[in-house]
Structures are given as structure tokens and as C-alpha cells.
């Protein structure tokens, strides 16, 4: 859920000028969107329990992920960071809220993950409140950068910009790792 731009955004926001308000707004936006997707799928009553994975669909997913990995590798020298990332250092709480809402609620992999949670709970006849652990775990991972600022204090002023710069410089490698995780998830 948080691999890729979701976590990178949390790091950038934690190193921004108004990091407390921006990080809190980002987490709030993520909370709202994840909860909405899980609840909406749960409310439909569509369940996935007992269904078997379609072998042809799995093969298409694996080939698509491998193609994406190849594309990321071959374009790594010319790839530029998305333009919205340049706004993160001066992000307002409103921008951060929208970013958290959109990244965690409408990013394709996040929609699928949240939908899978809601669908699973509906199929198993469990209450939607059982999704709170999933939401909390996701938010904890997203909160690691601002929490590290609180815990590490001045040391975080050196550490997080170094992490941000490394992730920006090696964005292609971060993308490859994320795609590799998706590949492993698809194959298991």
C-alpha cells in the first residue's frame, strides 16, 4: 500500500517547511480514502472468498509487471520525477490532504488492496470494523517519516533529507523494488 510515491510523499512532507500540519493532513486524507474504498466494497457485499485465481489473468499480470520493470530500467537515465513532487516541500495542509486522499484512494494498486480487504471481510461475514487493523497498519507505515522527526529531533534534519535525496536520485531503483514486490505478490 505504501511502497512508492505514497511513502516518498510522506518523506518529502516530513522534510517540508510546515511538516507537522502537512504530514497530519496527508495522513488524514489517506485515512478517509482508504476507509471509503474498503467500506464501499464491503457495502456491495461482493466477496472473493472461495474463488480461484484465473491462470490466464495471472500470466497477463506477471507479463505486465515484467514489462513495466523493463521500461523503468531502460528509461532510468531520462526519467524525471513527477511535477507534483516539486510542490511537496512547500505543501499546504489542503494540498497534502488531497495528495493523501488521491494517492491512497485512487492509485490502482491501493484501490485493489483496499477493495480486497473490503471484499474479503464481506465474503467472510466479518464486520467492516475488522478493517481498522489494516487501516492502522497502513497509516503507521505512512507516519514513520514524521514520527522519526519527532523521535530523532535534530538528527532527523540530517537523516530525512538524505533519505529524500537518495530516493529522488534512485527513483528508478525504488520503482523496480516496488514492481518486484508486486511480482512476488502476484506469484504467491
Taking the C-alpha atoms of residue 15 and residue 114, their distance in angstroms, rounded to an integer, is 28
Are the CB atoms for 162 and 45 separated by under 8 Å? no
pLDDT at 188 over 70: no
Give residue 71's pLDDT band: very low, low, confident or very high (50, 70, 90): confident
**What DSSP designation does 107 have?**
S
- When pLDDT is averaged across residues 171-177 and rounded to a whole number, the result is 74
Average pLDDT over residues 91-114: 89
Helix, strand, coil distribution of the chain in percent, nearest 5:
80, 0, 20
Containing H/E element for 159?
helix 154-169
> What would the mean pLDDT of 110-138 be, rounded to a whole number?
88
Degrees, nearest 5: CA angle 173-178-182: 145
Binning pLDDT at 50, 70 and 90, where does residue 131 land? very high
Give the span between the Cα atoms of 42 and 113, in whole angstroms: 13
Average pLDDT, the chain: 81
Amino acid at each position: 500500500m505504501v511502497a512508492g510515491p505514497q511513502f516518498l510523499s510522506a518523506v518529502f512532507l516530513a522534510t517540508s517547511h510546515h511538516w507537522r500540519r502537512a504530514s497530519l493532513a496527508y495522513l488524514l486524507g489517506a485515512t478517509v480514502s482508504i476507509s471509503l474504498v474498503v467500506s464501499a466494497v464491503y457495502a456491495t457485499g461482493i466477496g472473493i472468498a472461495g474463488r480461484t485465481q484465473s491462470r490466464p489473468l495471472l500470466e497477463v499480470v506477471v507479463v505486465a509487471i515484467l514489462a513495466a520493470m523493463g521500461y523503468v530500467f531502460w528509461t532510468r537515465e531520462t526519467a524525471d520525477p513527477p511535477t507534483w513532487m516539486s510542490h511537496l516541500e512547500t505543501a499546504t495542509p489542503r494540498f497534502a490532504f488531497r495528495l493523501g486522499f488521491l494517492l491512497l484512494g485512487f492509485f490502482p494498486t491501493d484501490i485493489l488492496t483496499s477493495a480486497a480487504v473490503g471484499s474479503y471481510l464481506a465474503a467472510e461475514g466479518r464486520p467492516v470494523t475488522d478493517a481498522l487493523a489494516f487501516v492502522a497498519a497502513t497509516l503507521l507505515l505512512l507516519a514513520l517519516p514524521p514520527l522519526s522527526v519527532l523521535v530523532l529531533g535534530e538528527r532527523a534534519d540530517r537523516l530525512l533529507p538524505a533519505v529524500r535525496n537518495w530516493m529522488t536520485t534512485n527513483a528508478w531503483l525504488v520503482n523496480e523494488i516496488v514492481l518486484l514486490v508486486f511480482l512476488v505478490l502476484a506469484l504467491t
